[in-house]
Amino acid sequence: MQPALSLRALTAAGLLISLLMPAQAQTPQKLDKVTFGTNWLAEGEQGGFFQALADGTYKKYGLDVTIVPGGPNVNNRILLLSKKLDFDIAANNLQSLDAVANKVPVVAVAAMFQKDPQVFIAHPESKVKSLDDLKPLTLFVSKEGMPTYFQWLKTEHGFSEDRVKPYTSNAQPFLANRNSAMQGYVTSEPFAIEQKAKFKPTVILLADYGFNAYSTFIETRTDLVENKPDLVQRFVDASIVGWYHYLYGDNKAGNALIKKMNPDMTDAILDYSVAKMKEYGIVDSGDTLKNGIGAMSDERMADFFSTMVHAGVVKRDIDFRKAYTLRFVNKGVGLDLRPAQ
């Protein structure tokens, strides 16, 4: 994800931490060593991966996983390309399309978030009830947001850059202006606002208005897909199971690892993140209800690409199909772990 929240930038990054589980009593097996880089400091939005490590799911799939945290000065994709990592997290479709445009030999093999958690947060006094209600407000948008999702807001919903001011991961300008809205993630910034300002903000999720990007891709090198497809499949499957356990099972072990790697995470923050991921269907909704967490589809990839071309974000001559593969998903892995509705 893009680093949109100040509480995410509170700890040092770049640490390489190996979190290994004790050997199980079953027949010993040789585990394949796997290194996985996240795209930010340890947090609830990565919870399924930590859960799979903490509860032994990766080990059950024959994997000895090391998690390498991201951070404000860390580029785990470079480590992936230099073969110091086997997998990393790509924040969204646009990162994958950018890789194709620049001939970077990586590919998305699973989409762990069915909805991008990007939101705008508004004061209750502004009486915002829909996306269009944001147009008269001052909008705090990051430099990363302007050439990406904000271009979609301009072309698809008629927003104007005249209303925009820079967002620098500091909520104070938003808090001082009741006729403003601030970007953020549904899983974190609203919580920080409630804790700091003691009011419940209005939240507008862009995914609910047609911003149909996937998010939190598992990404790997194309050579690993070609030469070690079984390893890729096992990592994807185990991560999917980890996400089911994290959302619907006992996630205390996963959260303990998150807090160990990022002491600024608290139980309250983590509980909030999980609750919002479930409430908004960030991880488990749409195609995942039939095909399992991590699901992707050609149709949705094509639709998002077309939308971004129209918004001027990506070039039409990009072969978007090279950005991902459906080879490792849509197999119904873990569906039995979802509670009955």
Task: Give the chain's mean pLDDT.
Answer: 92
4 Cβ contact list (under 8 Å, min separation 6): 142, 167, 169, 183, 184, 185, 188, 189
What pLDDT, on the 0 to 100 scale, is given for residue 74? 86
Question: Rounded to an integer, what distance in angstroms lies between the CA atom of residue 327 and that of residue 321?
Answer: 13
Per-residue pLDDT band for 73 (boundaries 50, 70, 90) equals: confident
Q: Please compute the mean of the pLDDT values over residues 134-140 and round it to a whole number.
A: 97
Please name the residues in contact with 121: beta carbons below 8 A apart, sequence gap of 6 or more: 174, 181, 182, 183, 184, 189, 190, 193, 201, 202, 203, 204
Mean pLDDT across 314-332: 97
User: What pLDDT does 21 receive?
Assistant: 40
How high is the pLDDT of residue 28? Answer: 54
Name the nearest CA neighbour of 94 among 226, 157, 175, 1: 1
| Per-residue pLDDT reduced to its tens digit, 20-63 | 344 333 445 799 999 999 999 999 999 999 999 999 999 999 99
Please give the pLDDT value at position 17: 36
User: Quick one: pLDDT at residue 72?
Assistant: 86
Residue 69 confidence (pLDDT) above 50: yes
Q: Is the pLDDT of residue 11 over 60?
A: no
CA distances in angstroms from 199 to 125, 187, 194, 230, 306, listed in the order given: 11, 16, 5, 49, 39
Give mean pLDDT, residues 106-133.
Answer: 97
Question: What CATH number does domain 32-114+213-337 carry, 3.10.129.10, 3.40.190.10, 3.40.1530.20, 3.20.20.70?
Answer: 3.40.190.10
**Bridging pattern class, strands 180-185 and 106-113:** unpaired
pLDDT at 18 over 90: no
For CATH 3.40.190.10, list the domain ranges present in the chain. Answer: 32-114+213-337, 118-209
Sign of dihedral through CA atoms 80, 317, 92, 324? negative
Closest CA to 248 of 237, 240, 257, 256: 240
Q: What is the pLDDT of residue 13?
A: 36
pLDDT, tens digit, for every residue of 240-288?
Answer: 999 999 999 999 999 999 999 999 999 999 999 999 999 999 999 999 9
Residue-level pLDDT at 16? 34
| Model confidence at 119: pLDDT above 90 | yes
CATH: 1.10.10.10, 3.40.50.1820, 3.40.50.970, 3.40.190.10. Which one for 118-209? 3.40.190.10
pLDDT at 3 over 60: no
pTM for the model stands at 0.90
Estimate to the nearest angstrom the gap between the alpha carbon of 253 and the chain centroid. 20
The pLDDT of 115-144, averaged and rounded, is 97
pLDDT, average across residues 297-316: 97
Share of the chain above pLDDT 70, in %: 91
Q: Report residue 5's pLDDT band, with 50, 70 and 90 as the boundaries.
A: very low
How far apart CA 13 and CA 16 sit, in angstroms, is 9
Of 24-38, 71-85, 196-210, the poorest mean pLDDT is in 24-38
pLDDT score for 29: 77
